[in-house]
Amino acid sequence: AYLHEWRIGPEKGAVTERRLSDVMMEFPVPCGSDGAFLALRVRSIEGPLLLHCSPETGVLLDGVVKFDGSGRQVATYDAEDGWWCVSEPTVCGKYATVMVSNVAKDVGSYGDGFDGMATKVVVLDLESLEKVAEQEAAKTGYG
C-alpha cells in the first residue's frame, strides 16, 4: 500500500486524493502525538500467498520507515542482507522493536521437516531508527 491523503470538504461536496509517498509499505504503527508513524517497507511481493513457508514465497519486508505527521519520510532502518522483517514494529517509549528472520531460498515448510528460521529482535532508537541492540530469539516459522 502507498500512503495517501484524502481531504473531504462537505460544504462543497469535494473530495481530493493524493499519494504522499512512493514507498510501498505495510503495517503502519503510530509513534507519537504529532501524527508520526512507523511502517514496514515492502521490497517485493510474490504470489499467490497460499503457503507461507518463507519470506521469499510471500511478501519481502526489508526495513522500517518512519514518517512524520505530514507523510514525509524522516528515518529508515534497513534489515541486513538476507534478513527480513517478520513482525510489525512495536513502539515502547523511546524505542521500537521489530523481529527479523534469516532464511535461505527453498527451505521447505514445517511439514517437510523444516525446524524454523534464525530470528532476532532488533531494538531501534525511535527518533533515528538506528539499531541500538539485538537479541536472538527462538526459531520461528513465517506467516
Task: Note whether 6 and 71 are within 8 A (CB).
Answer: no
Is pLDDT larger for residue 59 or for residue 31?
Answer: 31
For residue 83 the three cell numbers come to 534478513
Q: Is the pTM of this model over 0.85?
A: no
For residue 72 the three cell numbers come to 514525509
Residue 12: the pLDDT is 87
Average pLDDT over residues 87-94: 92
Q: Per-residue pLDDT for 142 more than 60? A: no
Q: Per-residue pLDDT for 25 more than 70? A: yes
**20 burial level (CB within 10 Å; 0-12, 13-18, 19+):** middle
Is pLDDT larger for residue 57 or for residue 1?
Answer: 1
Q: Per-residue pLDDT for 53 more than 80? A: no
* DSSP per-residue codes, 112-142: GT---EEEEEEEEETTT--EEEEEEEEEE--
Residue 14: the pLDDT is 92
For the chain, state the CA radius of gyration. Answer: 17
